[in-house]
Amino acid sequence: MRKIVLPGDLLASNPKLAGYGTYVEGDKVYARIIGIYEQTDNSIRVIPLKGKYNPSAGDTIIGIVREVISNGWNVDINSPYQAFLPVSENPEAKPGKKLNEVLDIGDAIIAKVMSIDPRMRVTITMKDKICRAIRFGRIVAINPARVPRVIGKKGSMIKLIKSELDVQIVVGQNGLIWLNGDRKKVAIAEEVIYIIEEEAHTDGLTDRVGEFIRRRKNVQT
Amino acid sequence: MSRPDKFIIDGKRLDGRLPDQLRPIKIEVDVLKRADGSCYIEMGKNKVVAAVYGPREAFPRHIQDPSKVVVRYRYNMAPFSVEERKRPGPDRRSIEISKVSKEAFEAVIMKELFPRSVVDIFVEVLQADAGSRTACINAASVALVDAGIPMKGMLTSVAVAKVDGVLVLDPMKEEDNFGEADMPFAFLIRGGKIESVALLQMDGRMTRTEIKEALNLAKKGAMEIYNLQREAIMKQFVEGGEENA
């Protein structure tokens, strides 16, 4: 069982080790969020177990259009901040085409975070090959802090689900996951994702998930 | 309720506790599904629910702060929480408690990480016995951790009262209503130690030495509560591990 730390727990007395989820005060490193303690040779970090999505540049996210304005779209990205998608960053927008015909309120999109200014104004882009408007499939929402477990170490978990179930999956860093493929298999994948979310803090999860998928597949065939 | 003749008989208090003993405490985490973090606490006869939402977009917009998060704290007593029906809605007392508690939490929440957003803390008193504000702070502190909000440490709160010239920890209703003084504390606990005082109020009279003594008594009680808070938060993860075993 890995060690879970709470805000204010003393982690180390070498400020050079301080990594994500920690803060330094008076030469001491403390945890600042609830999470799993992880120590490597040159850093200490706390992997969050709870919390909202905090956007950072380069993240792949799934958002929902909330507002169409003259020069772009305001997109809800499941974080404390709304993101802005300028017209120039959406390759589907062509001159002469109305903005609400390209993307309308309620449409879901896969996008990337382009930049964040110090006042936390988030700009997103769709100029990437995985970015697109979502017109089919299913979107599953989980706690954004559990996203790293859904992806797994170097993508191991997501690869497992993809190869076992043969479904298309795009994991947004903001906790929204898009699934597409055979209906029954998508249903299993959704269940699997909820299991991962529920048990994110436990060990040996990938093996258990693999076993679960195989068992579910046998029941159905 | 009338004033008892004596508060301490044979070294024991009206409810059989020793002067430095807490009331029984029960803490449950993650009781509300819709909230980002929540907590239910029972401290003696106090029953309190805390819910934390956020950080989320601040509305109305004019309350936004471009450099840090805004903390909102609402202490509210249910009409049925006291013997005689309390008129619902905020009154002078609950507004004051909300303000001082909010200021205590502002000192521990790392506000600069979420500019332009707001963290909402709601605490509802379902049943009040003395020291409901301390129960509320303890509950809110656990709910904030449960919501994954970055903080410098945890807040733990406890009151000390003076009855019959004796300092007593965590007073119950009779001691609070008819005692000579009542002093709620909230401490910032970090690295398993009490770092600083985040809230201190007093009503009544105490001498300088009594205040020092009260502080020590409160610190001792706070550490006990802190351990219970920790235990409650950790418990949800242990259970999760057993489910799939």
Q: How does residue B241 score in pLDDT terms, banded at 50, 70 and 90? A: very low
Q: Show Cβ contacts of residue A179 under 8 Å, excluding neighbours closer than 6 positions.
A: A137, A138, A139, A140, A167, A168, A169, A186, A189, A190
Q: Is A23 on the interface with B (CB under 8 A)?
A: yes
Q: Tell me, what's the pLDDT at B244? A: 38
Going from the N-terminus, what domains does chain A have, and what CATH number goes with each? 4-48 (2.40.50.100), 60-134 (2.40.50.140), 138-220 (3.30.1370.10)
Mutation to test the B interface, candidates A24, A34, A74, A117, most B Cβ within 10 Å: A34
Q: Is A1 on the interface with B (CB under 8 A)?
A: yes
DSSP state of A157: H
Separation of first and last alpha carbons in chain B: 52
Tokens at residue B66, please? Answer: 């471009």
Residues of A in contact with B115 (CB under 8 A): 118-120
> What is the rounded distance in angstroms from the CA atom of residue B198 to the CA atom of residue B187?
5
The three-class DSSP label of residue A37 is: strand
Q: Do B110 and A9 lie within an 8 Å CB cutoff?
A: no
Q: Are B148 and A50 in contact (CB under 8 A)?
A: yes
Q: Are A65 and A111 in contact (CB under 8 A)?
A: no
Q: Do A4 and B55 lie within an 8 Å CB cutoff?
A: no
Q: Do A49 and B149 lie within an 8 Å CB cutoff?
A: no
Q: Is B111 on the interface with A (CB under 8 A)?
A: no
Q: How does residue B245 score in pLDDT terms, banded at 50, 70 and 90? A: very low
Q: Is A198 on the interface with B (CB under 8 A)?
A: yes
Q: Tell me, what's the pLDDT at B111? A: 93
Q: Is A48 on the interface with B (CB under 8 A)?
A: yes
Q: Mean pLDDT of all residues in chain B? A: 93
Q: Is B191 on the interface with A (CB under 8 A)?
A: yes
Of A9, A33, A201, the CB nearest to B240: A201
Q: Tell me, what's the pLDDT at B101? A: 97
Q: Show Cβ contacts of residue A123 under 8 Å, excluding neighbours closer than 6 positions.
A: A83, A84, A85, A86, A89, A113, A114, A115, A116
Q: What is the pLDDT of residues A113-171, one digit of tens each?
A: 999 988 888 999 999 998 989 999 999 999 998 898 888 888 888 999 998 888 999 99
Q: Do A48 and B148 lie within an 8 Å CB cutoff?
A: yes
Q: Do B153 and A81 lie within an 8 Å CB cutoff?
A: no
Distance from CA of A28 to the nearest CA of B (A): 10
Give a yes or no: residue B87 inside a domain.
yes
Residues of A in contact with B117 (CB under 8 A): 80-81, 120
pTM for the structure as a whole: 0.90
Residue B139's nearest CA partner among B60, B217, B73, B237 is: B73
Q: Do A201 and B66 lie within an 8 Å CB cutoff?
A: no
> What is the rounded distance in angstroms from the CA atom of residue A113 to the CA atom of residue A84?
10
Q: Tell me, what's the pLDDT at A215? A: 87
Q: Is B54 on the interface with A (CB under 8 A)?
A: yes
Give a yes or no: residue B8 inside a domain.
no
Q: What is the pLDDT of residues B177-222, one digit of tens each?
A: 999 999 999 999 999 999 999 999 999 999 999 999 999 999 999 9
> In terms of CA atoms, which chain B residue is nearest residue A50?
B148
> In terms of CA atoms, which chain B residue is nearest residue A20?
B150
Structural domain of B97: 15-239
Q: Is A212 on the interface with B (CB under 8 A)?
A: no
The structure tokens 């709304």 sit at: A82
Give a yes or no: residue B187 inside a domain.
yes
Would the pLDDT of B112 be above 60? yes
Q: Are B148 and B100 in contact (CB under 8 A)?
A: no
Residues of chain A with pLDDT under 70: 1, 220-221
Q: Tell me, what's the pLDDT at A221? A: 60
Of A7, A54, A202, the CB nearest to B153: A7
Q: Show Cβ contacts of residue B43 under 8 Å, excluding neighbours closer than 6 positions.
A: B22, B23, B25, B131, B134, B135, B138, B170
Pairing relation of β-strands A60-69 and A72-76? antiparallel
Q: Tell me, what's the pLDDT at A10? A: 94
Q: Do B244 and A6 lie within an 8 Å CB cutoff?
A: no
Q: Tell me, what's the pLDDT at B40? A: 97
Would the pLDDT of B99 be above 70? yes
What are phi and psi for residue B195, nearest 5 degrees?
-95, -45
Distance from CA of A119 to the nearest CA of B (A): 6
Look up residue B51 and give its amino acid: A
Q: Tell me, what's the pLDDT at A200? A: 79
Q: Show Cβ contacts of residue B228 under 8 Å, excluding neighbours closer than 6 positions.
A: B25, B27
Residues of B in contact with A1 (CB under 8 A): 241
Q: What is the pLDDT of residues B119-162, one digit of tens each?
A: 999 999 999 999 999 999 999 999 999 999 999 999 999 999 99
List A44's β-bridge partners, or say none.
Answer: A18, A39
Residues of A in contact with B147 (CB under 8 A): 50-51
Of A50, A81, A202, the CB nearest to B37: A50
Q: What is the pLDDT of residues B65-76, one digit of tens each?
A: 999 999 999 999
Q: Tell me, what's the pLDDT at A1? A: 58
> What is the rounded distance in angstroms from the CA atom of residue A139 to the CA atom of residue A134?
9
Q: Do B153 and A82 lie within an 8 Å CB cutoff?
A: no
Q: Tell me, what's the pLDDT at A141? A: 93
Q: Tell me, what's the pLDDT at B214? A: 96
Give a yes or no: residue B10 inside a domain.
no
Q: Tell me, what's the pLDDT at A155? A: 87
CATH number of the domain to which B71 belongs = 3.30.230.70
Q: How many domains does chain B have?
A: 1
